Structures are given as structure tokens and as C-alpha cells.
Amino acid sequence: MKIPPIAALEIGTSRTVVCVGEVRENGRMRITGVGNYPTTGVRKGQVIDLSQARVGVEAAAADAEKMSGVDVWQVLMTLSGGHIQSTINHGQIPIRASDRVVTHEDVEEVTAIANEMPMEVDRQVLHTIRQTYTLDDQPGIVTPQGMRCNMLSFNTLVVHGHKNRIENVVNVAKNARLDVTDVTFSGVCAAFAVLTPDQKKNGVVLVDFGAGTTNYVTYTNGVVSAIGSIAVGGDHITNDIALAFNIPLYRAEELKRTEGSSIIETSMTSRRIALPADVGFSERTISCKALHIVINARMEETLKILRSRLDEAGVLIHLGAGGVLTGGGAYLRKLSELAQRTLGIPCQIGLPMNVDGLEANFDQPAAYSTVAGLVIYGQKTYEDNGFLSPIRKLFGKVFNS
Amino acid sequence: MNDEHPSQLLLIGIGGGGARLAAAVHTLYKDAMRMVCIDTDAIANRELISNTIPCILIGAARLSGNGTGGDAVKGRLAIQDDLHLLHAHLQGVRTAIILTCLGAGTGSGVTPEVISALHDMGIATLCIATEPFGFEDESRTTTATRAKAMIEEHVDSFCIVNLDELFQSTSESLIHSAIDATNKILASGITLLWRLLTRPGFLSINAERLHAFILYGGTSSFGNATASGLKRTDALISSFRESKLLRSGDSIAKANAMLVGILAGADLRLTEIGDIMKTLRDWSKTEAQIEMGTVIDPAFDGRIEVVIFCFENSINAVVETKKNPSASNASTTTSIPPAEVFQIQPGSAKRSKSKSKLSPGATGKGKFQNVEPTIYNGQDLDIPTYLRKNIHLDR
């Protein structure tokens, strides 16, 4: 089966990316075109101006077309935002057979119960992710059929978001004359591109540091065990710096990238950073230590929130493979050290290794993890279904992690 | 050249109290002077405009012109919304005198923000702030104390006037007369600065020296005295020894720098100037720098008025000492550089703080101002973490 080129769209808070991927003979996805344009009209992952956001989509799609030579008219979309939540839905049935052997019908029945999740009218299910079965008090069963028990339980992780906000993001692409075939949560996509099967099996948390949000996905025993989004990202660091030193945002962003550090570096405490004169302010210097304090305060707080979320979900103690940090924000200096210290697990930067064609062309490939993962997700969907389904059918889709 | 100097000096009255003081200055100083008032109260604002004092109404979208109701946070937010309105009045300004009354919402909330903004523009600031009366509600004292800490973050010279002491220094018993008298005392000190620049006598102070004094001033105080008759210089000196504003002369004794203005008519004698200055020099520290100017005005015929600004330099460290640490080790006091070697430095190039203080931008959300807040455990995560956790930044 030949899979056609797959286009993925990410309307991020700081930039809009369109990525075109094509499956090669070896079965690996290769990125053949990337369009990248600064986003306006989006704050913390949510659209606040449709027309401004559309401009970025049109420009990025045009660039991706030019680079790949593929006509981009149909895209997969990824989204994030503080409104994205996940809920564990529990299904349980008694095994009625006298021999207490689980049948295929039992499995189907308990799965159907777990998939049925009552939603508030303004919420929209994005994913229903299957987890493992529990036979009586024995968890972690992947294939229960044929095994004996009195009670069969099954959990699904339902990822859902605010209906209108999801539709607003989709409408941006539609306004740019793109046909949206699927919408997925960005954290899930990044995991497709970055994580290895071993990491998923041993337990891992993938943290995607975006400009507007910090998304996370945890895997334990090979399945997705928790998903979430914190509406705090790199933009908050930039904003903190701008307010702390009374400088414009673009200057703060530059400072963050060139001089920023997640931990307060003792070797830098006495150093002062020169800021050349510009419209609105005169030449001055700022303390490097103060800059690091501002960034450290924000990053430590964000990581502590993440830690408490993981703790609440009961997954923190099951993360044997540690933490993998990805997204553009992961390049902030010493972030993995701070994450290791705060989360109490080994952490490393995660690159989109499950696709080809990014490392050679981009300085910071981790910034493209989400969109690269979305292309892989498209490939898997095509392989499973033989086509990319229309969005109306795929909302609320069930997939195995 | 001299014609340009006054325009570099701007008087800013903040809040109802600050605007009243500015109005008193306006009344006392007949000539045109650059001034602007900032208030959240539309009615008071209208009265000032009708009185030909330009006044900016801030926070109209937030407060609908009703004032802050004593809430300093509302005041701070109001000026954050409308700070750009002040920019039009700052063209060419190098030195700003800010008049404010601490304890209420606008004065306490707006003043730190305005001073911070002026500081970032390299404008030297002298803030003259009144504290609440002792008999007023404790919450006003608390608000004033917080505002003082925030003002100190960026102000160059800070003069705090205790209203209890100021009223004691007047002989008026009726409240209306006492308020008029105290306003006049404050206004006379402030108008001195303009008079020294615009109507200099034989000895003058130029705008650049004034800028330097204020830029390096630190903790400040001022007092004035008027006398007439044959032994008017003796009377002046004894008035300063009793002055509550000058802490019975203690401010003069401790000052590292002093600005002395002598206002008199054409009958001013050189020996009188010599007597006053010799007494002040003997009274003050030997290393204190004293700058003196005279104003000869026919309106002062037969009497002499002396206004003294004392600068104790304890808020800020001088750029020079930062550049040369060995010099700062050698001496704990800060000296104002001599006029001939003084180079213009924006107000930002200094600051040495010993303790943590809340930044004026404490409620600022910057680019997240108008987006749905991210609330976690009751905290708005869009507000910088260092502000919410009150982390001190030695910028």
C-alpha cells in the first residue's frame, strides 16, 4: 500500500509550522518540506484572532509546498492549550460464565463501557486511549481473553478539550483553504516522534515545552497513563524577563535565548549583560544573576506543577526511563538539570528520532517534535484505515498507544 | 541656552493630594512652568484642568473616573493601563519633581510606577511625598509604608514629609489655615528650583547641576525660613535650628550635599550671603558639597527667604563608586561629581539594595493582560513568578 505524502499543521503560540512527510522504502517517514512562520493571534495555545492566525498558516503552507513540491490542501492538525484535560474512565463487568473464563464478548462489553464517557455539552473528546485490563486485583493485563477471573476491569484515558476552542483552531486552517482531516493533542504527537518503545515500556514522561503551553504524556508499561497541559510556556519566561527589566518583549526573547539559564549559574553571578540602546530606552546593563533568578523561578514552578500532576495521577514512581524534554523550550540552558532536580528522575533532551530529514536542516530539531510526530501519526492512521478519515468521523477516535 | 533649562524640569502632581500641592506651587509661582497632574478622579481632574493645570485622567476604562477608593492596587493598574498618556508630557525632560501624598490609592499606587518609568527613560527624579497623619487609619500608614519601599526602588532623591511635624511647624490652629500654610511651605521649597533656573541673581545654578544633585541625592529633606529686619540672617539661622522639616538642623549636619537658594530683593547684601553660607558650612560636615544660588526678585524687597535642600545620599550608590570599587571601600558616603567632570548618566546605572522590596510592576501581566488567566492553587500564573513569590532582584 503506497501512502501518499502527509501534511501536518501546528498553529503554535509563537510560530506556525506546516510539515510534509513521505514514507520511504524502508518504511520510515522522511520530512521533505517544512514551512515555518511567526504566529500572531494566538495566546497560550488558543486562537484570539482568526484572521491574524490565518496569515501564518497560509505562509507556512506555501513554504512547505515550495520545499517539498507537494500540493498542500489536506492537513492533520495538532492542538494544545490549558483547556485540554484527560480523564480515566473505568469499565467493569462480572464474568458470568461458570468457568470464569473471559470471552471475546466480555472484552468487547467492558471496552464499550469504558469508552462511554458522559461529557459536558461544551467538551469535545479528542482521543480515547486504551489502557490495560485488570483481572480481579491483578492489573496490567494486555490480553485478558482466555484468562480466569470474577471481575474484569478496563480503563480508558479520555482526552478532551473545550469544543469551541477546538473548532476555532480548526477554523483557522479552514479559512486558509485547508481541509483538516484529523485533530490530535500535541503531547501525543511529540511522543510518536521522540519516544522509543523501550522508554514507553519502562515508564517515561515526555514534556513538550512550547511557547504557550507545557504538555506532557506519560507511558507506563507501554501504554499512555496520563496526559495533560499546563498553560504556561516559554512566552511566560519572556514576559517575566520583559517585566523584570522593563525591556521590550523581543529583547527579552533574545536575552532568554542567548543568556538565559534554568538554574542560577554561580559562575555568572557577578556578570552584567550589556543591552544596547534602542528606541524607547537607553544603553544599560542588567545583572546576569537576576536574569537567571527570573527564569529559574518560572521554570521551577512549572516543573513543580508538573510533578504534582504526575504524583496525583500516580505515575511518578513508575517512570523508570525518566523524563524526556522536547519542544523549542527544551533548549533553554540547564533545563534538563533543573528538571532532574525537581522531578527526581533522570531527564534528557528528546529529538524527533523516529523521522528523518529534520536534523540536517534545522538547528533545533526538538522544536519540530510535535509536527513531526503528527506526520507519523498520519502514517499510522493510514496504515490502519487505508485512508485519512474526514474530521467529523475522527473526533473522539479510539486508538492504541 | 538658559531659556531651554526650565523646560527640562517638570513638576508632576500625583493623586488628589499631589495635585493640590501642585496647584499650590502653580499659585505661588506666577510664571509658566511645565507641570502635569495625574489622577484617577474625573471630577478633581476637571477642576484642575479648569484651573489651567494640565491633568491626565488615568484608568478611565477600569475605574470610570471614580477614583481608586483608597486601593493602591487599582491605582497601580490604572497607570499601567495609561502610562503612555504621560509620555507626551516628557519631551525633553531631564529632571522631574514628583509631588504625592502617600496612604491613599492613587498616590501610593501610581507614584512608584511613574518613577519607575521615568527612571527607565533616564530622567532624574526627586519625589516629595507626604506621610499620613498619626491620627489616620492604620491601613493608610501601611499603604504608605509599602509605597515608600517601592518608590525607593527607582527614585533618585526621596524627600518624605511627615504631616504631623509639618503642621506643628505652622502657627495656625484652624485646619483650613494650617493646610494653606503647609502647602505654602512645601510650594516655596519647590518653586525655589524654578526660580534658581529662571530668575538667577549674581550666583546661579544651572539645570545640569540641579540634575546632578537630584540624580545623586538619595534621602533628602528640605526646609525654608523667611526673615526681615536688621538681624535677618540671625533670625534665619535660628529658624533652621528649630525647623521640624530639617529635624532641628540635624539634616544639615548629616547632609553630604546641600542646595541653598537665597531669595531676596535688591537690598540683599554680600555680607548677608557670606554669613548664611559660613554658618551652614560650619554646621555641616567638612566634606559636604554645598551649591548656592541667589534669586533677586523685587517681590522680596525688605525680606530674605532661604530654602535648603539636604541630600544624604543613602538610597543610591553613585556610578563612579560602582566603576571604582576601591573608592567605594574607602568611603561610605557618596559624593556628587564636580560639575566639570560630570557626565550624563541615565538613572538606571545605579542601585544597591540591602533588602527585598516589592517591585512596582507587582500586578503586571504584560502580554497576558487581556487573556484568560491561568489559575493554579489560587494563583494567577500569568503574573511573573518572581513577583508572586516576592523574590528580590538585584537588577
Task: Provide φ and ψ at B182, rounded to 5°.
Answer: -70, -40
- With an 8 Å Cβ cutoff, are B384 and A281 in contact? no
- Classify B216-316 by CATH class: alpha beta
Average pLDDT over residues B341-354: 36
- Give domain limits for chain A: 85-161, 197-264+290-351
What is the overall mean pLDDT for chain B? Answer: 76
C-alpha cell read off for B346: 541615565
Q: What is the pLDDT of residue A346?
A: 93
Higher-pLDDT residue of B118 and B314 is B118
Q: Give the pLDDT of residue B45.
A: 67
Q: pLDDT digits over A290-331, tens only?
A: 999 999 999 999 999 999 999 988 898 899 999 999 999 999
The DSSP annotation for B346-365 comes to -TTS----SS----TTTT--
Confidence of residue B198 (pLDDT cuts 50, 70, 90): confident
CA atoms of A296 and A335, how far apart (whole Å): 9
From A118's Cα to the closest Cα of chain B, the distance in A is 25
Kindly tell me if the per-residue pLDDT of B78 is higher than 50: yes
A309 at the B interface (CB within 8 A)? no
Nearest C-alpha neighbor of B144 from the set B17, B19, B304, B262: B17
Residue window 337-366, chain B: list those with CB within 8 Å of chain A. Answer: 346, 348-349, 359, 361, 364-366
Helices (H) and strands (E) in chain B, counts: 16, 12
- A273 in reach of chain B (CB within 8 A): no
What's the Rg (C-alpha) of chain A?
Answer: 22
Query: What angle is formed at CA A51 by the lines to CA A46 and CA A55, rounded to 5 degrees?
Result: 95
For the domain made up of B2-199, give the CATH fold.
Answer: Rossmann fold (3.40.50)
CA distance A65 to chain B (A): 33
Cβ distance of B366 and A48 shorter than 8 Å: no
Q: Is the pLDDT of residue B25 over 60?
A: yes
B385 touches chain A (CB under 8 A): yes
Grid coordinates representing B139 are: 491601613
pLDDT score for A208: 94
From edge to edge, which strands make up the β-sheet containing A29-38? A179-185, A74-79, A6-11, A15-23, A29-38, A355-356
CB-based contact, A48 to chain B, within 8 Å: yes
Q: Which residues of A touch B350 (CB under 8 A)?
A: none
* CB atoms A232 and B381 under 8 Å: yes
B359, A286: Cβ pair inside 8 Å?
no
Residue B49 confidence (pLDDT): 62
What residues in A contact B115, CB-CB < 8 Å? none
Q: Residue A94 has which C-alpha cell? A: 462480572
Per-10-residue mean pLDDT for chain A, 401 residues long?
A: 85 89 86 88 82 89 89 88 86 89 92 84 86 86 89 90 89 89 88 92 94 91 89 92 86 91 83 79 83 94 94 90 94 93 93 82 83 89 64 43 50
Neighbouring C-beta atoms of residue B335, cutoff 10 Å: 17
- A271 reaches B (C-beta below 8 A): no
Over residues A240-294, the pLDDT tens digits come to: 998 888 888 888 999 999 999 999 887 777 889 988 876 656 778 899 999 999 9
Give kind and range of the element (H or E) at residue B58: none
Complex ipTM, two decimals?
0.84
> What integer pLDDT is reported at residue B350 of this predicted model?
40
Our CA angle for B98, B99, B100, nearest 5°, is 115
Which residue, among B121, B322, B381, would best test binding to A if mutated, counting the most A CBs under 10 Å from its CB? B381
- Asked if the domains A85-161 and A197-264+290-351 are classified in one and the same CATH topology, the answer is no
Of A44, A286, A289, the CB nearest to B371: A44
> Which residues of chain A are within 8 Å of residue B371 when distances are taken between CB atoms?
43-44, 46, 48
Q: What is the residue extent of each domain of chain B?
A: 2-199, 216-316
Residues of chain B contacting residue A246, judged by C-beta atoms under 8 Å apart: 116, 120, 361
Q: Give the per-residue pLDDT at A221.
A: 85
Please tell me the CATH code under which domain A85-161 is placed: 3.30.1490.110
- Are the beta carbons of B111 and B79 closer than 8 angstroms? no
Instruction: Give the residue from A104, A78, A98 showing the smallest Cα distance to A18.
Output: A78
The answer to whether the CB atoms of B116 and A281 lie below 8 A apart is no
Classified as helix, coil or strand, B287 is coil
Query: Out of A33-42, A150-159, B33-42, B339-348, which region has the weakest mean confidence (pLDDT)?
Result: B339-348
Q: Which of A240, A282, A305 sits opposite B386 (nearest CB)?
A: A240
Ramachandran sector of residue B128 (left: φ over 0; alpha: ψ -120 to 50; beta: rest): beta
Among B115, B350, B379, B386, pick the best mutation site for testing chain A contact (most A Cβ within 10 A): B386
Kindly report which listed range (A215-219, A256-260, B149-153, B207-211) carries the lowest average pLDDT score.
B207-211
Task: Report d(CA A388, CA A393) in Å as an integer.
Answer: 10
Give dist(CA B105, CA B83) in Å, integer: 16
CA distance B282 to chain A (A): 40
Superfamily (CATH) of domain A197-264+290-351: ATPase, nucleotide binding domain (3.30.420.40)
Rounded CA separation B380/B387 (Å) = 11
